[in-house]
Amino acid sequence: MTLLELFQLLKKHLKLVITLPVVCAIAMGIVSFAAMDNTYTATTSMYILAKTDDSGQMSYNDLSASQMLSNDIATLLDSDSVKSGAAKELGLTDLDDYKVSVSSETTTRVITLSVTGTDAKETAEVAKAMASSVSTVAQNVGAAQSINVIDEAKTPEAPSGPKRALYIAVAFLAGIFIAVAYVVLADMLNTRIRGAEEAEELLGIPVVGRIPAMKGGK
């Protein structure tokens, strides 16, 4: 099938090609607004400082240790000890309803904690509690001198998800793909001869006559 033939085929079924993607997009829009709750993300950044020597001065080795410690604390933030400590501080059973993500660069002692949940205010409180909890745990097990909060988590003003526009766009494109695939497949499975030219191409002999259609089928 050439590109021109495909275009003509799609033009013949233009109603389906337009309607199906629109229906898919509308359906996804309804589902995303009716069944998907808004999520909010609160972010806090922390500066990690390792213990200094007796002189109170920080050497190059101390700086290197602090950078390595940042990676350790980034791992601790996702540990049960830190999460249970934060949950206890907030009077919660657990933090299973919240998604926690941590980013830490190898060349810096700053780590960023992001907490995502369905309630904006509670999400910010969880981020603050986790920052406090990891400070306690890290000083106990990681020999950290201090973990200082640089940017305290604030209550997010706008939802961070779900990405409804993206979902609707994907549904629309999926509708186009399904419509085109259906039209092409239906045409390939249709074995009827739909014209004199197609009969000549199929049989390899010229058409010598035609019987016109009569009104009323007579």
Determine the Cα–Cα distance for residues 159 and 40; give it in Å rounded to an integer. Answer: 5
First to last CA, the chain: 36
Residue 156 falls inside a structural domain: no
Same domain membership, residue 144 and residue 82: yes
Phi, psi of 68 (to 5 degrees): -65, -35
Same domain membership, residue 193 and residue 98: no
Residue 214 falls inside a structural domain: no
Residue 217 falls inside a structural domain: no
Residue 149 · residue 45 · CB < 8 Å: yes
Same domain membership, residue 106 and residue 170: no
Whether residue 41 is predicted with pLDDT greater than 90 in this model: the reply is: yes
The answer to whether the pTM exceeds 0.85 is: no
> Which residues lie below 8 Å from residue 25, measured CB to CB, with a gap of 6+?
168, 169, 171, 172, 175
pLDDT, tens digit (0-9, with 9 covering 90-100), for 74-126: 888 888 889 999 999 999 999 999 999 998 776 678 889 999 999 999 999 99
Same domain membership, residue 170 and residue 97: no
Among 98, 99, 84, residue whose Cα is nearest residue 136: 84
Q: What is the CATH number of the domain that holds 129?
A: 3.30.70.1130
Whether residue 146 is predicted with pLDDT greater than 90 in this model: the reply is: no
Same domain membership, residue 128 and residue 85: yes
Mean pLDDT of the chain: 84
Residue 140 falls inside a structural domain: yes
Residue 42 falls inside a structural domain: yes
Parent domain of 195: 1-33+161-201
Residue 210 falls inside a structural domain: no
The dihedral sign for the CA sequence 80, 82, 84, 87: negative
The per-residue pLDDT for 60 is 46
Same domain membership, residue 85 and residue 108: yes
Same domain membership, residue 45 and residue 135: yes
Q: Domain total for the chain?
A: 2
Residue 166 falls inside a structural domain: yes
Same domain membership, residue 139 and residue 171: no
Same domain membership, residue 100 and residue 5: no
Residue 149 · residue 35 · CB < 8 Å: no
User: How many Cβ atoms sit within 10 Å of the Cβ of residue 103?
Assistant: 12
Between β-strands 40-50 and 99-104, what pairing exists: parallel, antiparallel or unpaired? unpaired
Determine the Cα–Cα distance for residues 182 and 174; give it in Å rounded to an integer. Answer: 12
Residue 112 falls inside a structural domain: yes
Three-class DSSP labels, the chain? CCHHHHHHHHHHCHHHHHHHHHHHHHHHHHHHHHCCCCEEEEEEEEEEEECCCCCCCCCHHHHHHHHHHHHHHHHHCCCHHHHHHHHHHHCCCCCCCCEEEEEECCCCCEEEEEEEECCHHHHHHHHHHHHHHHHHHHHHHCCEEEEEEEECCCCCCCCCECCHHHHHHHHHHHHHHHHHHHHHHHHHHCCCCCCHHHHHHHHCCCCCCCCCCCHHHC
Whether residue 131 is predicted with pLDDT greater than 80 in this model: the reply is: yes
Same domain membership, residue 145 and residue 49: yes
The per-residue pLDDT for 181 is 94
